[in-house]
Amino acid sequence: MPAYQFTRLPRSVLRVAGDDRKTFLQGLVSNDVTKVCADRALWAGFLTAQGKFLWDLFLVEQGDTILIDVDQASAETFKKKLSLYKLRSKVSIEMTDMAVFAVWGGDGALPEGVVADGRLAEMGGRLYGAQAPAGLAETTLAAWDSWRFALGVPDGARDLVAEKSLLLENGFEELAGVDFNKGCYMGQELTARTKYRGLVRKRLLPVTFDGDAPEPGTPLMAGDAEAGEMRSGTHGAGLAMVRLEHLRAAAPLTCGGKAVTVTVPAWAVLPEAD
């Protein structure tokens, strides 16, 4: 039976408390905050008013508070942004000293204290706290990246571009990161329009290649035509934003002079060809 392993992620944790914590967050994020719980991390996007990506978040209930797991490099900026919307809401927002550990690769029940990753069962879970999980083998961030690349799962700001990316181009619908029945939230209009008008023309998908990954932003080419661009990657694998017209044409693709093979994860539902 495969054993679980872990690595620390470059993420920070905020705590939102107060009587209005759920209604406050409900109007700001793409998922239904009434579904937040203690044993599963609810994935969501925080968007601009125009519906473009700013942060991906994981929300977990802890007693009468909600923990928010966010990109470490911009956590303070996120906290300030969140605080702008408090107005008269009965909420408090504070940074914590908790670390975020990804736990994955095992077979069977998740280790004690680990909350399930709400995107895919294969992604394992996340552990919040000051101490690394006991009794598990520690590995590298690159090993976790390789795991998620194979599954086609994005990693926030490393794969989505702030103020440009759309949630539905990055798997948020299939990976349970957006709820279309929850009511209004910031950026909802564009997200809903993208879905109901069938406006998805490109998707973030797993790619493989020989050797080191091309730099993020390197164009993906189909002959002389630009077919997308590289996002995060490691040796031999990564994720790229791919224009669906080129994926369906099955033309040979290259990136940074390397031959690239694109695959479609089993969970992904691509729009039908026009």
Has residue 274 got a pLDDT over 60? no
Which of 160, 231, 148 shows the shortest CA–CA distance to 260?
A: 231
Q: Where are the domains of the chain?
A: 7-132+139-158, 201-274
Q: pLDDT tens for residues 261-270?
A: 999 999 999 9
User: pLDDT confidence of 273, banded at 50, 70, 90?
Assistant: low
Q: pLDDT tens for residues 165-213?
A: 999 999 999 999 999 999 899 999 999 999 999 889 999 999 999 999 9
Q: pLDDT tens for residues 220-245?
A: 999 999 999 999 999 999 999 999 99
Pick the CATH number of 201-274 from 3.40.50.1100, 3.40.630.10, 2.40.30.110, 3.40.50.300: 2.40.30.110
Has residue 250 got a pLDDT over 80? no
Give the predicted TM-score (pTM) of the model.
0.95
Task: Please state, as a whole number, how many other Cβ atoms lie within 10 Å of the Cβ of residue 139.
Answer: 16
- CA 219, 50, 76, 184 dihedral sign is negative
C-alpha to C-alpha distance for 208 and 97, rounded to whole angstroms: 37
Strands 237-243 and 225-234: antiparallel
* Second-level CATH architecture of 7-132+139-158: 2-Layer Sandwich (3.30)
pLDDT > 70 fraction of the chain, expressed in percent and rounded = 99
Q: What is the pLDDT of residue 271?
A: 85
Give the list of residues 6+ apart from residue 80 with CB closer than 8 angstroms, or none: none
Q: pLDDT tens for residues 19-61?
A: 999 999 999 999 999 999 999 999 999 999 999 999 999 999 9
- CA 180, 183, 188, 194 dihedral sign is positive
